[in-house]
Each structure stands twice: as structure tokens, then as C-alpha cells.
Structure 1
Amino acid sequence: MPAPRGIAPVLAALATLGPFSIDTYLPSFGGIGRALMATPHEVQQTLTAFLLPFALMTLWHGPVSDAFGRRRMILVSVALFALASAGCALATRIEELWLLRALQGMTAGAGMVVCRAIVRDLYDGARAQRLIAQIMMMFALAPVIAPVLGGWLQSWFGWRAVFALLVLLGVALWLACWKLLPETLPMHRRQSLRVDYLANAYRSMLGSPSFLLICVALACNFVAFFIYVLSAPVFLVRHLGVAATGFPWLFAPAMSGLMLGAWLSGVLARRLSHGRTIVAGYLVMAVAAALNVGLNLAMPAALPWSVLPLFAFTLGMSLAIPSLTLVALDMFPEQRGLAASCQAFVQAAVNALAAALIAPALCESTLSLALGMAGLSMLGAAAAASHYRRSIVDASAALLASGFFGKRNQAQRYQQAAGHKAEPGLIGCRVVDSCSAHRSAKPVVVKHPANGRLEQHAAQ
């Protein structure tokens, strides 16, 4: 199915809807507290109210899209997101804002999950990798633009204008999806939404070591950088002495690396296989992580040296992510929505672990952050390598099993053609063809080299 022109920006906007909903309203925490007479802790809970449903619903967006179609799932989710955003803009109590932010979280993650399945529905191989790379290039702009835009709106119009912007974004995105987004999942490929079917499907995916290894590799790659985002106030203000307005020192090089790496991934899609692209990405990440540790050991933390390795690391990360994503989706080609949901859930779970435990433990020094980046990237590389090692072992075992049973069946056919019953032996049957080196005390049946007839001979 050919993809319509302009679908890459639409899919990128769908993927960034969740992060954009968080980053734009962060500068408004103080304004929300004053307007709704809420404590800072109560305002902070609006973020928790968004994140918990966001993470849990990633397990459902994919299966629902597998059952009812990608387009319908996206249109309903974006419409509900716009309505929830309008409710947030009109909220008069902090409890109302909690409830409406939870509804936002339930719907905002649909685009991030389903857009991966849409890409794989439309294309395979190099074309799918290029489209994911294009989406990542646009996705990288959201963390840079959203806080700045949210800060301007808060300064000029107040916190309600931030949610009004999300309403406009939701409406515009719904119209774009209605016009440009095709249904990429035909009826004959739809899956059941029965509870027993989903339970078995989730058990199959989350019980697959190879699939989980790829998901862990993706999650560790991102979290190796994400710990810097989570530690940004401490890393920039306390360790590097940057003012509160100096956050671009972190985001500008990191997002530039993301965009350049995604562009390179698209360029290399026709020249390199997924495996080679992944190896190239990990090599760049390894060099960047080693450089980061070396700089922190050799000199005190200072700009720009403390942030330059982030450019190289995110370049390698975004070089590998499109190929890793496609590898994960291709493991379950009939359930790509479900696979995308599982992948997103693992990512959300690891992100939550990083926010709760890893970043707070590492943010006390720039060296510990650098070591954390190196360790997490090594864990991701080990997971990816283990996946490919398991794939090679499984493929070899399947090939050996195919040859084993192939010889068994072939020998049985020879014996049956001669009117004898095949007898099990060390390699599956004591009756072998002329190219076998196996010897037995029993008579053997072989093909005559000239006429091809089956003949019985005594064992030598």
C-alpha cells in the first residue's frame, strides 16, 4: 500500500503528542497552583495523573488497533485528547485537573504506539527504516520547542492558554489524520480482542526472550540519555553553573544528535542491513560514552565539554533505534499493534525506574552520570547482542532439525518403497541413502547410482 504524501509529519505529530502534553505545561506549575489554590505537591500530582494512565494504556492501544483498525483507533483517541485538553483549560479545582489529565494520559499515547505499527503496515525493509528515521527527526524537535512555547504562553496569557494550545493541536491533528491517514490494516488481518486471546498473546510476547531482549536494548539506549534529562536541573544549574534559562545547553546538542542520527539512518537504509546499522549505532554510542567518562576524569565539569558527548551519543542512539524497532515488530508480523504496545510498555516501565531510582542515585556528580550512561549503553548492547546470538542459535537448531527429520523421512520413504519398515536408529533411522556415511549391522536400502532403483544390501 503506497503511503500518501505528507504522512511522515502526521505520524511524527502523533508520536510527540504525549511528550508535548508534558513539556508544554511544566513552566505553568506555579500559575496553576496560584489559580487553583493548590500546593506544589498537589500540582505535581497532575503529572502523576497523566503518566500512570499513559503507561498502562500502552498495553491496550496496540491490541485495540489490531482489532478495530489503525485509523479508527487514532481518530477516537485524538478526539478524546482534544476534549480532555478543553476540560483542563476550563478546570476550576485541582481535583478536576487531576481527572482530566488522567484522561489526557489515557489517549495521548495512542499515536506513539500505533504509528509504529502503521509504518510497518505500509512498508518493510529500507523504506520502513527511512520513514521511522523521518519521524524521529521531527520527534526530536518536540523537547526543544515545547518548554519554550509553554513558557511564552504562560508569560503572556497564563496557564489556561497552554491547554488551549493542546486543544488546537488536537483538532488540527484530527483533521490531518482524517484527510491523510489511510486504514493500513485490512479486515482479513484483524485480531480478536477477547481477554483469553490477549492473555495468551501477551504471555507469548512477554515470554519470548528474543523479543524482550530487543525491548530492553531499546529501553536502555534511551534511558542512558534520559537520565541527563531527568537530572537536568541538578546537572546544569548545580554542576555546570548554568542559569535556569540555560536548558538549551543540554537540549540543543542532544536533539541535534538525534536529528542527525535519524537522517543518517534513513540514508544508510539502502546500503546497510538492520544488523550492520545497529552495530554502527552501538559503536558510536560506545565511543561517546567512553569520551564522556574520560573527560569527566581528566577535567572538572564545564561547558561545552560536559555536553558535547551527548551529541555523539544521541547520534548513535537514533542511528540504531529505527532498525531495532523494526526487528521487534517483525518478530510478530500478525500482531504488530500488540508488539508495539509491549515495546512501549517496557520503555515506559524502564523510564519510570530511571525517574524513581537511577537518576536520583546518579545526579550527585557528572562522573556518576557519565558512568551511568556508559553502563546502561553497555547493557543495551549486551541485550541486542544476546538477541542476535539467540537468533543464530535458534536458526541453526531449526536447520539441524530440518536436516535431521528430512533424512529420517527420506529414509523412511526409501524403506517403504522397498516394502520394509524403517527402524529407528542413532540419527533417526537405520536406513540411509547413498550419500550417508552411517553404517549398521542391519541390511540397508540404497539407491542404485545408474537406474535410481532401491536395492537391499548387507551392511559392510
Structure 2
Amino acid sequence: MEGKDPLATPLLRRSKPPPLAPLYAVSLLRTTATAIAMMPAFNLRVVSLGEAAGYDTAAVANAMGLISAFRSFTEFTAAPLLASWSDRLGRRRVILASALAFTLEATLMAVSTGLVMLGAVHATFGCFASGGAVETSCIADATPAGPKRAVAVGRFFTVIGAALVLGPALGGALLARVGGAAPFACAACLGLTAFLATAVALPEYLPPSRRAPKESAAMLPAAGVYRLLSQTPPLRWYVAASGLFSLGMALYGTVNVLWLKEAFGWDGQDVGHFLSAVGAAVITSQVLVLPGVLRISKGRESLVVQGAMMVHAFKFIGYAWAPNGKWVYVVLALSTPTFCAAPVLSSLCTRHVPATQQGLWSGSMSALNTAANVVGALIGSRLLALSLRGFLPLGSALYAGALCHMLAALCVGCASLSGDKKMSESHDEERAPESLHGG
């Protein structure tokens, strides 16, 4: 007889897993709140506070890199633990705690009056951020391995894309019309709404019968991941590909606001509009491109990932070569399929991981990605600072990101050569008796 979970819902007693719609809805609220607070509000808040403290643009870029690196370091430390706890305690508890923590973070950032306070708040609350690992684990709980899971992850990325459409535009408008603290206050209100929605509507996707045993708490997350990697050769290459892909995104993402400002003279509202266009491209890629590509590929998902990563690389080069801001939009439109890379890569990884370790794996991958963000933030901000001082071309950080994506595509190819298809079929057969259907 399963133990009674006070946070569980009656849906757990059904053979069919809970629907993913509540997860997508809650994630839309949370991600929109995050986007309002972060893109471009946080970066421009750092700029304004830095200028008020007497820093020049290059010094502000270095400060932004340090804050981003500290934040990524705390996420690197916390994400595997949060996701691993969700394997034992259930997904819903961890999502609730994370939503409440973000609400407090946004509230404190709204009242921050200096770079030190703003940076300290942002870095400290990284301890409650899983980087989407718990949500990805929910999807793995509710869908069978294979294309269905890739599509479900793609829908999650569609939610992120929708948030990237709404959040930056709203954040930029609040900055322009109200002031520096307004986006954070708005984000705090949305974060509280997400917390309440989670408490009321979100089901538990991991029933007690499928949770990791309590004695697994004695095992460090790193030990469990090492055992997985030692037993499954393709996972090693996927880890390398994911790390390099995240590094490339961080090299660009850390500096994109300042780079757009310096390259094209854009203000906060201009940057917000572009980031909203990026969100629209994410939605288009997940809703229109990804399902069709998966049908055409017929089991060759690794080729989809490789192609998308290579286009990602050329997209960054196209940004760096753009003669004006209009061309950046053109490059973005032409490279819309690149956003298929992340959900398909995530699906390729999870099909090799046992059901009781999905949270551990997702959390560890999130930690790897945040570690890449630490390195990317430091290197990207340093490259931009050197560019602003005339030692390097202005697009140096983008060129470095393009190189990382080319190397990531090479690693995905190595995963295929190491027996990806054979290992995938083996794991699917082992987990067939406990697979969930639907989603």
C-alpha cells in the first residue's frame, strides 16, 4: 500500500498520468515573471546603478559578468540537490518552494539601491532555482521515451517562448514609463500568483510508488551521475554537447543587452522588442517546426540536433556581421529552426535514464549548464570589455559562442557513433513495464 502524501492529488490513483497542461500554465506564469525581472530590466538596472556609482561601460560589463557568474554558481550547487530531492519527495513540493523563493527575490530586487545589494540578492536566491530541471522531470514522468517526450519538451519550450514574448516587452515598457524598480515589483506579483496557482492546481507527477528510496539520500548526486555515465557511453557525449551548447548561449546571453546597445544604439524598449521577437521565434520553432521535423527524421533525432546547432553557430556570426538592427531581425527569422536543438537533446538524454533517476539527471544537467553559464558569463563579459576598449572586434563574444555550438554538434555526432540507437532500445526495453503513457 502506498504511503499517503498530503500534497498528492486524486489523479495519482489513476493509471493514466496527470495532464501536463497545469504544468505548462504554472511555468508560463513563473517564466513570464522571470523574464520581466531579467530581460532587459536586470541588465539595465545594473547599468544604471553602475553609472550612478561612477563606473564606465567596460567596468559595468565586468560587474554584470561577476553577478551572473555568482548566480550561476549558486544554481550549479543547488539544482542537482533540488531535482534529486524531487525524486524522493515529489515534484510539487520543490516547485512550490522555488516559486515562493522567486517572489521574495523579485521583491528584494525591487527595493535594492546599490549594485552590491542587487547582486547579493540575485546570487543568493539561485539556491532555490533548478533551471527547469524539476519541470523537465515532470515531463519525463508523464510521457514515454521517444518522439512524444521530445514534443512534450518542445511544448515546454513553447511556454518559455511565450514568456519571452510577454516578459521583455512588458519589462522594457515598465522601465521606460515607470522606473527601474517597476519590473521587479510586477515580477513579484506574478511570482506570488504562480505560487498560489501551484498550490491550488498543480498535480503531483511522481507517485510514491515511483520515487527513489530514502536510502538514496546518502548518495551524493555526483556519485549517481558518475554511475550513469560509466554505464552509458552516449550520455558522456551528450553531457559534453549540452555543456558546450550552454557555454555558447551564455557567451552571447551575458552580453547581448550591452552588445545590442553598443552595436546599434538601442535603448531598453528596443532591446525588449527584440527579445520578444526571440520568444516568438521559439514558439514558432516548437509549434510548427519541431513536430514536422521529428516526423520527417523518423528516429534520427541526433541529426536534427546537429543541424540546429550548426545553424545556431551561423546565427551568432550573422548577428556579429549585421550592419544595422534590422538585419538582426532578418537573421533571427532565418534561423528560427535553431530552437529545436534544446528539447530534442533533452529527450535524447532522458531515454537513457531510469525513471527513478530522472530528477537526479535533470538536476545534474541543470548544474552542468549553470557551470557553463559561470564560465560563459566571465569570458563573455571580459571579451565585451576588451572589445569596448578597442582590443577586440565588438562581436568577439558571439564568435566564441558560434565555435562552442560547432563543437557541440560534433559531440552529438560522436554520441551517435558510440551506439546511441542500440543503447536507447536497450533502455526502452528495460523500462517498458514501468513506462507511463499519455501526455
TM-score normalised to structure 2 length? 0.73
Contact 1:281 1:316 in 2 (8 A): no
What corresponds to 2:433 in structure 1? none
1:48-447 matched pairs, under 5 angstroms: 50-89=71-110, 99-107=120-128, 109-110=129-130, 112-124=132-144, 125-191=146-212, 192=214, 193-196=216-219, 198-205=221-228, 209-233=233-257, 235-240=259-264, 242=266, 245-247=269-271, 250-251=274-275, 254-268=278-292, 271-272=295-296, 275-286=299-310, 289=313, 301-305=323-327, 308-313=330-335, 315-333=336-354, 334-358=356-380, 360-361=382-383, 364-365=392-393, 371-392=399-420
Q: How far does residue 3 in structure 1 lie from its aligned partner after superposition? A: 0.5
1:178 aligned partner, one-letter code:
A
What corresponds to 1:430 in structure 2? none
Aligned mates of 2:111, 2:352 — CA distance in 1: 45
Contact 1:26 1:150 in 2 (8 A): no
Judged with a 3 Å threshold, the aligned counterparts in structure 2 of structure 1 residues 282 and 305 are, in CA distance, closer, same or farther, namely farther
1:140 aligned partner, one-letter code:
G
1:377 aligned partner, one-letter code:
H
Larger RCO, structure (CA 8 Å, separation 6 or more): 2
Aligned mates of 1:295, 1:86 — CA distance in 2: 35
| Cα deviations by residue, 1:122-178 (Å, 9 ceiling, x for unpaired) | 112333222221221221244454344334434554444333223212211112212
Q: How far does residue 367 in structure 1 lie from its aligned partner after superposition? A: 6.9
Judged with a 3 Å threshold, the aligned counterparts in structure 2 of structure 1 residues 223 and 153 are, in CA distance, closer, same or farther, namely same
Aligned to 2:270, the other structure's residue is in SS state coil
Q: How far does residue 263 in structure 1 lie from its aligned partner after superposition? A: 1.6
The runs of 5 or more residues in structure 1 that have no matched partner are 399-460
Could you tell which deviates more after superposition, 230-239 or 129-138? 230-239
RMSD: 3.9
Please tell me whether Structure 1 or Structure 2 has the larger radius of gyration of its CA atoms.
1
Contact 1:85 1:104 in 2 (8 A): no
Aligned to 2:132, the other structure's residue is in SS state helix
Could you tell which deviates more after superposition, 49-58 or 222-231? 222-231
Greater fraction helix: 2
Contact 1:89 1:161 in 2 (8 A): yes
What corresponds to 1:427 in structure 2? none
Judged with a 3 Å threshold, the aligned counterparts in structure 2 of structure 1 residues 46 and 227 are, in CA distance, closer, same or farther, namely closer
Aligned mates of 1:183, 1:344 — CA distance in 2: 21
Q: How far does residue 273 in structure 1 lie from its aligned partner after superposition? A: 5.6
Judged with a 3 Å threshold, the aligned counterparts in structure 2 of structure 1 residues 21 and 49 are, in CA distance, closer, same or farther, namely farther
1:350 aligned partner, one-letter code:
A
Aligned mates of 2:400, 2:366 — CA distance in 1: 22
Aligned mates of 2:409, 2:153 — CA distance in 1: 21
Aligned mates of 1:48, 1:373 — CA distance in 2: 17
Contact 1:50 1:101 in 2 (8 A): yes
| Cα deviations by residue, 1:186-232 (Å, 9 ceiling, x for unpaired) | 21222235233545213324656532321332343454455343343
Could you tell which deviates more after superposition, 109-118 or 333-342? 109-118
Contact 1:82 1:167 in 2 (8 A): yes
Judged with a 3 Å threshold, the aligned counterparts in structure 2 of structure 1 residues 97 and 395 are, in CA distance, closer, same or farther, namely closer
Contact 2:37 2:106 in 1 (8 A): no
What corresponds to 2:3 in structure 1? none
Aligned mates of 1:294, 1:21 — CA distance in 2: 28
Count, aligned residues? 391
1:13-32 matched pairs, under 5 angstroms: 13-14=29-30, 20-23=36-39, 24-29=41-46
Aligned to 1:118, the other structure's residue is in SS state helix
What corresponds to 1:440 in structure 2? none
Q: Percent identity?
A: 21
Aligned mates of 1:155, 1:205 — CA distance in 2: 49
| Cα deviations by residue, 1:344-374 (Å, 9 ceiling, x for unpaired) | 1111122222222256448643675665454
2:412 aligned partner, one-letter code:
A
Aligned to 2:19, the other structure's residue is in SS state coil
The runs of 5 or more residues in structure 2 that have no matched partner are 1-16, 427-439
Judged with a 3 Å threshold, the aligned counterparts in structure 2 of structure 1 residues 274 and 317 are, in CA distance, closer, same or farther, namely farther
